[in-house]
Every structure is written in structure tokens, then in C-alpha cells.
A = this chain, B = another copy of it.
């Protein structure tokens, strides 16, 4: 087991003191170190937001993309290099606001990517507007008026979209979160963790106190086996939000990943995916005239002599 310090970068973390993101990143450091992953083979992909800064703080490769698009970047990375563990860190605005189309699409593919959502109910970095997970009628500090829109239920949406591993964690329970991250990263397929993340600066409703009072462990208090529960049961469970808020793994299945499906259609794919393929011999194309003629035979006409 590598030391968790090895996974920290030298960059000063400029989140607000007390921000829930500190809980998330320390769970991440520990998960990475307990899994002992090769730092070069882990790629964190993030969007824009407070959450989007995560990769710079971690000493594995990081791709800090544009707002809402970490998932599409992640897919391109994963599909072309199967060795990589690809982990997305997105804000709730990032993944469920501007990026919700991609969020839904990833579920359909079951690509082997882990999505960790920093769910703080606000758009942190743009000064506290309502994010898609903020409940209707709530007026957090940064809002001029109470929120007009109903919240998206991230867990329900992930289940509906087809993610094969769907969980919720809480930034202040780093032990539990660390385990969730490990399980999600090890899971083969699209995994999603909705992480309840207090934003001390802008969200004065969903605070640490708020969550501490409500959060309970799915598997502790109930007889909950995520590999066994039906999708509908998991969905129903995901609707629980109020006095009690469950955390843990809601649902888990092993299904063919996107990469495996591609592998069935392209024989060489799993062994030599795009990034591993040779494309030149001595500075010339790998395809010679004979190959060209074979591949494109339908386009070639032999001229009558």
C-alpha cells in the first residue's frame, strides 16, 4: 500500500476552509493509496467549478476540462487506452446542469469509468447560484429569491440512465466514502457516486449539521444488498430524502462494459486499443498498396485491357 501522501500534489488547495471537498479529496487520496494504483495509470477528469480543481491537487494525471464535459473527455481517454483508470470529478452543476446529456449517455454505455459528483446544491465557483440538486423553495445565501426549480435526484437519474454501480456518499464520512470510491473504481462498468458535499460559503441549508442529522448507512440499518435489489427497489429507495437520507451502494450489477462490447466487434481491440496500435513503419503508413486494395476492394475497378 502506497502512502496516501504520495498521491498529493504540491499545489495549494484553494477551497474555502471547512469546505466539504476536503473530505472528498482525503477519501480519494486514501482510496488511491489503499488500492496502490500506479500514478501514471490513473487519470482524473474534471469539469469547471470548485470541484473541477480536484485533479491539480492529486498526484496522478489530471485533465481539467470545460464546464459540463468531463464525461465525454473521459470516454475518449478510456476507449483509446484501456489500461487507464478514469475517474471523473464533477460538480452537480457540471454533471446535472450543463452536462446532464452526457451524464445520461454514459449510463447507456456502461463504459468503465467512475463518476464522483461533488453535490453541494450550488454553483460554488460562480458564487452560489442554485444547482440542479437544490430543493425547490429553498433560498440559500447566494440566491436573490427562493429556488424555482425542482431538484434532480442524482441517484434516481443514474439508475434510470443505466449506471451499473450507483452509490451515495457523504463528504464528512471519509472512511465510508473511501470505501465507496474503492468499490466504484474496482467495479467494471459505469459507476456513480453522489457525494453530499457541504459548501460552507454558499449553501447554508444543506450544511454539515443538516446532513449529520439525516444521513444513515443503507447497509447498516437495513438488509440491503445492492447486487440483489431490483432496479425498482433501488429507485424507490433513491426517493428517500428528508428526515432520513441513505448513503451507501444503492445498486450494483456486472454487465458488459462498452469496451467489452466494442471488443466483440473489433477482435483486436481489447489487446491493442487505439493508443497502443502501431500506425507507421519507418515513417510510412502501415497500410500498403495491397492492403489498400483489399480493404477498399469495393471501390476499385479493374480497367478492361
Binding site for B on A (CB under 8 A): 96-101, 104-105, 107-110, 132, 136, 145-146, 148-153, 156-157, 159-162, 231-232, 235-236, 239, 258, 261-262, 265
Contacts and interface: CB of A to CB of B under 8 A. Distances in A.
Contacts of A261: 136, 148
A134 B151 CA distance: 28
B231 A265 contact: no
B149 A109 contact: yes
Given A148-B265, A160-B153, A236-B232, A100 B104 contact: yes
Contacts of A145: 265
14 contacts: A96-B104, A98-B101, A100-B101, A100-B105, A101-B101, A104-B104, A104-B152, A107-B150, A108-B150, A157-B161, A160-B235, A232-B235, A232-B239, A235-B236
A97 B101 CA distance: 7
A150 B98 CA distance: 22
Contacts of A235: 160, 232, 235-236
A105 B104 CA distance: 12
Q: Chain A binding site: helix, strand, loop or mixed by DSSP?
A: helix
Contacts of A151: 108
Contacts of A98: 101
Contacts of A136: 261
A236 B239 CA distance: 14
Nearest to A137: B261
Contacts of A152: 104, 108, 161-162
Nearest to A158: B160
B148 A258 contact: yes
